[in-house]
Amino acid sequence: MATFDDYANKYKTIRMERRNGILQLTFHTDGGPLRWGLQPHRDFTYAFADIGSDPENQIIILTGTGDEFSGPRPSGPNRPGGTPRSWDAIYWEGKHLLQNLLDIEVPMISAINGPALRHCEIPLLCDIVLAAEHAEFQDSAHFPSGLVPGDGMHIVMPLLLGANRGRYFLLTGQIIPARQAQELGLVAEVLPKDKLLPRAWELAEQLMKQPPLTRRYARVAITQDIKRKLLDLLGYGLALEGLGALDKEPY
């Protein structure tokens, strides 16, 4: 069982603040918008485990820094190669990152402050999803960059968009603007950026009016089916992604 003091300043890419049981996580890289890489991949995996084991966390808010939620788009093919042993760390963290996220047994709200171009499945797995007007969603780092979309994207996006729209999104590098994302059911509310976090806190305080076990067990009930799908398919997708990444043959 972790306490806030144990992990509040532990992770390089996550700034944390907690007020009255509401924990806000702000993703960043050196104080600016999150630049995806091995560091956040590792940080998120262990941070979600710490957060989920702290009973003082009653509601979680996820947001980003500046005008972007996560990026950047890769500038060229992203095929890390290496060896099976080097891929094993990514495989292990990739499985536990999303499992640990869903094992946080309190309601989660995402306030997507701008484009989510890398790992948009993370904020989209929250129970309430808010987005700034200029936000957009893309899986820029997988198939468009020569990788199998196996980091849970192959599960989450077809689940949220529907099978055909989800596969189209993954295979074409489609960019979905915030308003279209709302129409497609990815996003609940689209707001001006300056109203985004206040609205997230307003909703968090509204949820806090429910009894603690009602909040906790509601989260468990409405995520159980997603967790089952991740258990069945997440490791398989990561393994296929690794096999593809290790292929040295030219295009």
Q: What is the pLDDT of residues 15-35, one digit of tens each?
A: 999 999 999 999 999 999 999
- Tell me the C-alpha to C-alpha distance, in Å, between residue 191 and each of 23, 114, 156, 199: 21, 11, 24, 9
Quick one: pLDDT at residue 82?
74
Measured at the alpha carbon of residue 24, what is the angle toward residues 18 and 27, in degrees to the nearest 5?
Answer: 135
Please count the CA atoms within 13 angstroms of the CA of 104 that sit on its side-chain side. Answer: 31
Active site residue 121: yes
Domains of the chain are 4-246 (3.90.226.10)
- For residue 8, pLDDT over 60 is answered with yes
Quick one: pLDDT at residue 85?
86
Q: Which of 84-88, 123-127, 148-152 has the highest average model confidence (pLDDT)?
A: 123-127
Mean pLDDT of the chain: 95
Tokens representing 99? 């499992």
Burial 102-124 (b: 16+ CB within 10 A, else e): bbbbbbbbbbbbbbbbbbbbbbb
Three-class HEC string of 209-242: CCCHHHHHHHHHHHHHHHHHHHHHHHHHHHHHHH
Quick one: pLDDT at residue 147?
92
Tokens representing 14? 């996550």
Model confidence at 74, pLDDT cuts 50, 70, 90, reads confident
Nearby residues of 246 by Cβ (< 8 Å), 6 or more positions away: 81, 82, 83, 84, 87
Full-model pTM: 0.96
- CA gap 196, 63 in Å, rounded: 9
- Tell me which H or E stretch contains 63: strand 59-63
One-letter amino acid for residue 213 of the chain: L
- For residue 167, pLDDT over 80 is answered with yes
Q: What is the pLDDT of residues 188-237, one digit of tens each?
A: 999 999 999 999 999 999 999 999 999 999 999 999 999 999 999 999 99
Model confidence at 152, pLDDT cuts 50, 70, 90, reads very high
Quick one: pLDDT at residue 45?
98
**Active-site residue (options: 17, 56, 93, 121):** 121
Model confidence at 248, pLDDT cuts 50, 70, 90, reads low
- Give the DSSP letter of residue 250: -
- For residue 112, pLDDT over 80 is answered with yes
Of the two residues 85 and 47, the one the predictor is more confident about is: 47
- CA gap 22, 83 in Å, rounded: 42
Q: What is the pLDDT of residues 76-104, one digit of tens each?
A: 666 665 788 888 999 999 999 999 999 99
